[in-house]
Amino acid sequence: MKKLNLLMRPSRILFSFLMLNLFFVMPTWGADNMRFHGALVAEPCTIRPGDEAITMSFDPVVDKLIYSRQRTLGKQFEIHLVDCDITLGNIVTIKFTGNNNPKLPGLLAVSDPDMGVGIGIETLAGNLLPLDQSSDEMILSNNSNTISLKAYVQGEPDAISQRTIKRGEFNAVATFNLQYY
Predicted pLDDT at 40: 78
The C-alpha angle 126, 79, 130, rounded to 5 degrees, equals 40
Predicted pLDDT at 6: 46
Predicted pLDDT at 100: 98
What is 46-180's CATH superfamily? Fimbrial-type adhesion domain (2.60.40.1090)
Comparing CA positions, the residue from 126, 131, 142 lying closest to residue 94 is: 131
Domain boundaries, the chain: 46-180
Q: What's the pLDDT tens digit per position in 39-51?
A: 777 889 999 999 9
| Low-confidence spans in the chain with pLDDT less than 50 | 1-7
Torsion of CA 14, 18, 23, 25, to 10 degrees: 130
Q: How many CA atoms lie within 13 A of 91 on its CB side?
A: 6
d(C-alpha 123, C-alpha 108), whole Å:
16
C-alpha separations of 105 from 132, 157, 164 in Å = 11, 12, 19
Predicted pLDDT at 148: 97
**Sign of the dihedral through C-alpha 132, 136, 142, 146:** negative
Given a contact cutoff of 8 angstroms between Cβ atoms, the answer to whether 180 and 91 are in contact is yes
Predicted pLDDT at 16: 58
Torsion of CA 165, 169, 170, 171, to 10 degrees: 160
Q: What's the pLDDT tens digit per position in 13-49?
A: 555 555 555 555 555 665 666 778 787 778 899 999 9
Predicted pLDDT at 23: 55
